[in-house]
Amino acid sequence: MKIPRIISILLVLLLALPSLVGCAGDSAEVIKIGVIASLTGEVAVYGNAVAEAVKLYVEQFNEAGGIGGKKIKIIEYDDKGNATEAVNAYNRLVSSDNVVAIIGPVISTPTLSVAELSAADNVPMITGTATHPDVTKYGKNYFRACFEDPFQGGAITRFAADYLKAKSGAIIYNTSDAYSTGLKDSITATANEIGFTITATEGYAKGDVDFKAQLTNIIQTNPDVIFIPEYYQSAYLICKQARELGFTGTFLGVDGTDGILEMEGVDPSIVEGMYFANHFAADSTDPDVVKFVEDYNKKYGKNPNALAALGYDAAMILINAIKTVIENGGEGFALTNSAEHRQLIIDALRATELDCVTGNIKFDENNNPIKECVIIQIRDGANHFVANY
Amino acid sequence: MTFLYQILNGIQIGAIYALVALGYSMVYGIVKLINFAHGDIIMLGSYAVWYFMTRLNMPWWLATIATIIFCSIVGIIIEKLAYKPLRNSARISLLITAIGVSLFLQNTVQLIFTANPKMFVTFIPSGGFSIGNRSISYTTLITIAISAAIMVALTLLVSKTKIGKAMRAVSEDNRTAQLMGINVDNTISFTFALGSGLAAVAAVLYVCSYSQIAPTMGSMLGLKAFVAAVLGGIGSIPGAMLGGLLIGVAESLTKGYISSQLADAVLFGILIIVLLVKPTGFFGRGDREKV
């Protein structure tokens, strides 16, 4: 079949069009940053908190003039808390959206997959919230705004022994989740170190909703506290079933517990009295926190949780690093996603020293921040600051 | 004592598996179809009872009745639209259609209610009978009692009533049943409605125990109930009940005494062993291939 020449020319033009549009518009005026967050799915409360906080910071930053008139533009993808989706989002951001750096993902499992991939590309990455130790170990390009799992696992265990004067505890954890198993290991290690008795360690698989068999075994050993290193959805079901089986002791959670009170249809009496380790307390009196809580409240009509605070900090750290790079570049410098510019941003990130919402942030040699954690208690259906650990 | 509790935990979830397995078994008995969309009827039922109670503010008993009616109607519609046109085609086409229906239901619900799980606030009073530092929750007792009552009622329905007789006749040989003046179409529709209604009851009991509702919740539950149906002998009603309870107890004991990671492996291991050793299960009848 012969295609008329005019049609073939039109077709070629049609195919070429998107790439032309791509060049024309954005390179000069905006700086594109990717965001990967779990906006739907089991941990949607986290992803939305992070995404909202990032938007808040970017908005404030752009309103204040951006970087010499250049605005920051966010390109956001939903990973549903899933590693495969996160990798797809990462590939799209790097190869077709041409972003200069990426914030995210939100929880540890997808972040680990993206971390491995991004190390080879040396893309500047910062996650606000993924606490698994290995996140920053694949390459020198990955940073985070939160503390690591071993640290908070240790803190909540010491808190149980020192502050609550508990004698013994049991652990129930998710065997198919890197975050949960990592925390289980650090709780066990700290308990051994300080001579705190762990009466039972029980596991379950991802997606389980029936924990009664494991809890029956745990209650049999009569622990004072139960450690639940798990995200809020499953943590809530575990607490509910433990109470149904007659457990009267205290539940101890981790930063994944944050968000438990925001679930639709939650019964706060089930988690009343629970303590958990966290990155930030919204009822703190620190001026940076007070201002952040106020701004967030004004924009979204609710109090920020710790994930929001960390998302805000991640955006602040990354955008400040980009600003440094552009300012150092001097007149006529145009930031691209070239390998050279990626390295410049990574170097600027490493040199970060900033007063953030979750504390003063400086990175150690492994790109992890050096900071403290707070312990929060759920009382009368609200989070209350208890202690720094 | 702990052992007794583990058995009780197992019976509670097993009773729910049994209700679901009954749906699989009855439908298989009548149209020789493994209805893989059956698990998703439970998912629909869970969303329905949640919606009726939280969005339409119905009292729990009305919401439960409405859910049963809703699921039964959905069951009939699925049969009429998806399965009936294929009744005389190869069985593999039916099976693939069932998987298609399952995906369709999951994705439709995900589109309407998003992938975010919903929390269901149980209407069964919390607490229970305490014995020492343990307690047996009312939810557990009610789940077991209701399932037992329904199984008795179902057995009576199938063995004593006219429609039950029609069901048995159609499952024996639907051509002959038709010649004897039994309306095969209506009987099949009734079976789907009944199976889906049982799934609705299972859904209500399930969300009262486990609170969490998600678009994909039906898949694993459906698969486990399917194993239960095969273990009991697919097509057999007492088999489905026994299979469900055994699977529930096996799961609970594996989690409690061996390893929770192995629980699913043990369940599906049971499926493999049954299929290798006694493919007809406990109560299944041998294949009556007609030449």
Query: Which class does domain B2-126+136-277 fall in?
Result: mainly alpha
Distance separating alpha carbons of residues A139 and A123, to the nearest angstrom: 10
Distance separating alpha carbons of residues B264 and B89, to the nearest angstrom: 34
- Using a pLDDT cut of 90, give the percent of chain A over it: 60
CA-nearest residue of chain A to B54? A265
- Residues paired with A127 in a beta bridge: A144
DSSP string, B248-288: HHHHHHIIIII-GGGHHHHHHHHHHHHHHH-TTTTTPPPP-
Distance separating alpha carbons of residues B223 and A372, to the nearest angstrom: 46
Query: Which class does domain A150-278 fall in?
Result: alpha beta
Q: How many CB atoms lie within 10 A of CB A127?
A: 31
Radius of gyration of chain A from its Cα atoms, rounded to whole angstroms: 23
Using 50, 70 and 90 to split pLDDT, how confident is the model at B193? very high
Using 50, 70 and 90 to split pLDDT, how confident is the model at A26? very low
CB contacts under 8 A, A 232-271 vs B, are 233, 236-237, 240, 243-246, 248, 263-267
- Domain ranges across chain A: 29-147+287-372, 150-278
Q: Check CB contact of A29 with chain B, cutoff 8 Å.
A: no
CA B254 to chain CA centroid, Å, is 22
Task: Single out the residue of A250, A297, A259 nearest to residue A278, CA to CA.
Answer: A259
Element (H, E) at B44: helix B38-54
Distance separating alpha carbons of residues A55 and A27, to the nearest angstrom: 20
Average pLDDT along chain B: 88
Using 50, 70 and 90 to split pLDDT, how confident is the model at A20? very low
**B6 contacts in chain A (CB < 8 Å):** 213, 216
Tokens of B280: 């007809």
Q: What is the pLDDT of residue A24?
A: 40
Distance separating alpha carbons of residues A156 and A373, to the nearest angstrom: 9
* Of A198-202, A257-261, B55-59, the least confident: A257-261
> Given B118, B211, B264, which is nearest A240 (Cβ)?
B211
Using 50, 70 and 90 to split pLDDT, how confident is the model at B41? very high
Tokens of A278: 């966290």
Q: Check CB contact of A193 with chain B, cutoff 8 Å.
A: no
CA A376 to chain CA centroid, Å, is 18
Q: How many CB atoms lie within 10 A of CB B132?
A: 7
Q: What is the pLDDT of residue B291?
A: 45
Q: What is the pLDDT of residue A283?
A: 85
Q: How far is B213 from chain A (nearest CA, A)?
A: 10
Distance separating alpha carbons of residues A104 and A88, to the nearest angstrom: 13
Taking only the tens place, the pLDDT of each residue in A99-134 is 999 998 999 899 999 999 999 999 999 999 998 889
Name which residue leads in pLDDT, A10 or A222. A222
Q: How far is A228 from chain B (nearest CA, A)?
A: 16
Q: Is the pLDDT of residue B287 over 70?
A: no
**B259 contacts in chain A (CB < 8 Å):** 203
Q: Are A257 and A363 in contact (CB under 8 A)?
A: no
Which residue is listed with tokens 């299944």?
Answer: B284
Say if the Cβ atoms of A264 and B118 lie within 8 Å: yes
Question: For chains A and B, what is the number of CB pairs under 8 angstroms?
Answer: 94
Name which residue leads in pLDDT, B151 or A34. A34
Q: Is the pLDDT of residue B34 over 80?
A: yes
Q: Is the pLDDT of residue A229 over 90?
A: yes
Taking only the tens place, the pLDDT of each residue in A322-372 is 999 999 988 788 888 899 999 999 999 999 999 899 888 889 988 999 888
The most distant pair of C-alpha atoms in chain A lies apart, rounded to whole Å, by 86
Which residue is listed with tokens 């540890």?
Answer: A108
> Given B117, B120, B261, which is nearest A205 (Cβ)?
B261
Q: Is the pLDDT of residue B134 over 80?
A: no
Say if the Cβ atoms of A212 and B9 lie within 8 Å: yes
Distance separating alpha carbons of residues A246 and A265, to the nearest angstrom: 22
Q: Is the pLDDT of residue B253 over 70?
A: yes
| Per-residue buried b or exposed e for B156-184, using 16+ beta carbons within 10 Å of the residue's own CB | eebeeeeebebbebbbeebeebeeeebeb
> Given B54, B133, B252, which is nearest A265 (Cβ)?
B54
* Of A26-35, B83-92, B208-217, the least confident: A26-35
Q: Is the pLDDT of residue B247 over 90?
A: yes
- Residues paired with A74 in a beta bridge: A33
CA distances from A253 to A227, A232, B35 (A): 6, 9, 41
Q: pTM, whole model, 2 decimals?
A: 0.75
**A244 contacts in chain B (CB < 8 Å):** 126, 128, 135, 137, 139-140
Q: What is the pLDDT of residue A360?
A: 84
Helix or strand or coil: residue B136? strand
Q: Check CB contact of A95 with chain B, cutoff 8 Å.
A: no
Distance separating alpha carbons of residues B103 and A64, to the nearest angstrom: 49
Report the range out of A291-300, B127-136, B277-286 with the highest average pLDDT. A291-300
DSSP string, A302-358: S---HHHHHHHHHHHHHHHHHHHHHHHH-TT----S-HHHHHHHHHHHHT-EEEETT
Helix or strand or coil: residue B235? coil
> Given B139, B210, B263, which is nearest A237 (Cβ)?
B210
Superfamily of A29-147+287-372 according to CATH:
Response regulator (3.40.50.2300)
Indicate the Cα dihedral angle B59, B65, B67, B70, nearest 10°: -130
> What is the strand order of the sheet A125-127 is part of?
A71-78, A30-37, A101-103, A125-127, A142-144
* Of A4-18, A187-201, A288-302, B237-251, the least confident: A4-18
Element (H, E) at A225: strand A225-228
Task: Single out the residue of A228, A178, A177, A176 nearest to residue A201, CA to CA.
Answer: A228
**CA geometry: angle A276, A266, A379, nearest 5 deg:** 45
Positive or negative CA dihedral for A354, A360, A365, A368?
negative
Mutation target vs B (from A38, A80, A174, A212; most B CBs, 10 A cutoff): A212
Element (H, E) at A102: strand A101-103
Task: Single out the residue of A23, A120, A100 nearest to residue A348, CA to CA.
Answer: A100
Region of A67 please: left (phi>0), alpha (psi -120 to 50) or beta.
beta
> Given A175, A203, A245, which is nearest B134 (Cβ)?
A245
- Domain ranges across chain B: 2-126+136-277
CA-nearest residue of chain B to A172? B260
Tokens of B75: 């069951």
Q: Is the pLDDT of residue A23 over 60?
A: no
Which residue is listed with tokens 């985070």?
Answer: A144
Element (H, E) at A65: none
